[in-house]
């Protein structure tokens, strides 16, 4: 994409309410899948894609995640007193991430196939894009029911729809974050601004993906990994 590697934001602040009772005394990113915590699956993707500064936002039971990440390259930022959601959390972390486009990665999904971060960086075109989202065709999405989040046209432009779901990995410019007046807000607010300008893009993932936001997703992710020899 460019010579200087992008910074990466790991979203790790959520309460994990769908994962209860497993998250009653453990933050969701520390729940093990296939022998290692979810957040370690995420950091492995980031390191294999050779990103720059890595930052994780924390809020729920932050001491456990701070201890787990203490001897890693990941810098932690604890949101207090209130959780800031994805958009507010990313904006809050910008002093550590810098002003260039950043990669963001959810920590509650497992990927089987090509590294999604590398795929995003290879496809990123800052001349035409404000954000590029990794989208999952519904027939490659495990642990998720219902319809998708977006439709994607042949040029890669995204519109709200049902064709594919957002997989939790993207690269995006961050300037529009500063135009939101709320302290806590979703990245959907910024994506809608980008879509209105025809600058929200997506790329379809060629591998398989599993939502591990609920207890049943753990076994589904492990079965998916075993089936794809990852």
* pLDDT tens digits, one per residue of 69-105: 999 999 999 999 999 999 999 999 999 999 999 999 9
Q: What is the pLDDT of residue 116?
A: 96
pLDDT at 212 over 70: yes
Spatial distance between the Cα atoms of 187 and 96, rounded to a whole number of angstroms: 18
Spatial distance between the Cα atoms of 136 and 116, rounded to a whole number of angstroms: 11
Spatial distance between the Cα atoms of 230 and 224, rounded to a whole number of angstroms: 9
Per-residue pLDDT band at 22 (split at 50, 70, 90) = confident
Q: Mind listing the domains of the chain with CATH numbers? A: 8-227 (3.90.550.10)
Spatial distance between the Cα atoms of 55 and 67, rounded to a whole number of angstroms: 15
Q: What is the pLDDT of residue 84?
A: 96
- Of the candidates 29, 168, 37, 174, the residue with the CA atom closest to the CA atom of residue 96: 174
CA dihedral sign of residues 25, 28, 32, 37: negative
* pLDDT tens digits, one per residue of 145-191: 788 889 999 999 999 999 999 999 999 999 999 999 999 999 999 99
Per-residue pLDDT band at 217 (split at 50, 70, 90) = very high
Strands 208-211, 141-142: pairing is: parallel
* pLDDT tens digits, one per residue of 114-151: 999 999 999 999 999 999 999 999 999 998 878 888 99
Cα angle for residues 119, 148, 8 (degrees, 5° grid): 35
* pLDDT tens digits, one per residue of 24-55: 999 999 999 999 999 999 999 999 898 989 99
């Amino acid at each position: 994409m460019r010579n200087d590697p992008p910074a990466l934001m790991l979203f790790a602040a959520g309460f994990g309410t769908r994962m209860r009772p497993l998250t009653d005394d453990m933050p969701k990113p520390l729940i093990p899948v296939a022998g290692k915590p979810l957040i370690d699956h995420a950091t492995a993707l980031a390191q294999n894609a050779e990103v720059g500064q890595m930052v994780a936002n924390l809020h729920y039971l932050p001491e456990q995640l701070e201890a787990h990440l203490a001897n890693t390259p990941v810098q932690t930022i604890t949101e207090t007193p209130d959780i800031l959601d994805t958009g507010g959390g990313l904006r809050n972390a910008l002093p550590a991430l810098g002003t260039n486009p950043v990669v963001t990665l959810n920590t509650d999904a497992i990927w089987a196939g090509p590294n999604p971060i590398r795929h995003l960086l290879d496809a990123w075109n800052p001349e035409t894009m404000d954000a590029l989202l990794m989208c999952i065709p519904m027939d490659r999405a495990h642990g998720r029911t219902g319809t998708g989040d977006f439709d994607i046209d042949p040029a890669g432009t995204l519109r709200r729809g049902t064709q594919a779901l957002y997989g939790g990995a993207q690269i995006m410019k961050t300037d529009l974050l500063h135009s939101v007046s709320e302290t806590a807000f979703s990245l959907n607010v910024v994506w809608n601004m980008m879509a209105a300008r025809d600058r929200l893009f997506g790329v379809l993932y060629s591998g398989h993906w599993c939502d591990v936001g609920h207890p049943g997703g753990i076994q589904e992710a492990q079965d998916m990994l075993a089936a794809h020899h990852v």
